[in-house]
Amino acid sequence: DAGVTQSPTHLIKTRGQQVTLRCSPKSGHDTVSWYQQALGQGPQFIFQYYEEEERQRGNFPDRFSGHQFPNYSSELNVNALLLGDSALYLCASSLVRGLGGAFFGQGTRLTVV
């Protein structure tokens, strides 16, 4: 079992550009959540996808959007990048009705210059 895999691991983008991050959930999981972790902070919830729909959303602007595919994999898109978007982006997979917690990927380190 490969667990949760994210790509790419590191990314450098210029302010104003757009970026797409990808996530494959742990085998058997049906729910994907995305988190932003700024340096020295705890992860902040961006949104969650289940059955290819956004199920919940945190306090993030519309520049942040996502998608879930029929195979449960997911993408996070960020438009009009700001310097403040520089962070570690974590994908977490889980079961929608499970209490077992979420499994996190290694994250994508995004640097906006």
- Residues lying near other proteins in the complex (CB under 8 A) are found at 4, 6, 31, 33, 35, 40-45, 48, 50, 55-56, 58, 90, 92, 94-107
Give 17 or 51: the residue with its C-beta nearer to other proteins.
51
Give 50 or 65: the residue with its C-beta nearer to other proteins.
50
Nearest to 62 by CA among 44, 83, 47, 52: 47
Give 74 or 94: the residue with its C-beta nearer to other proteins.
94
Structure tokens at 71: 């195979």
Exposure string over 39-70, b if 16+ CB within 10 A, otherwise e: eeeebeebbbbbeeeeeeeeebeeebbbebee
Provide the minimum distance between the beta carbon of 49 and other proteins in the complex, in angstroms, as a whole number: 10
Burial of 37 (0-12, 13-18, 19+ CB in 10 A): middle
Provide the minimum distance between the beta carbon of 38 and other proteins in the complex, in angstroms, as a whole number: 10
Provide the minimum distance between the beta carbon of 13 and other proteins in the complex, in angstroms, as a whole number: 20
Give 6 or 85: the residue with its C-beta nearer to other proteins.
6
User: Using an 8 Å Cβ cutoff, are 17 and 81 in contact?
Assistant: yes
Provide the minimum distance between the beta carbon of 34 and other proteins in the complex, in angstroms, as a whole number: 11
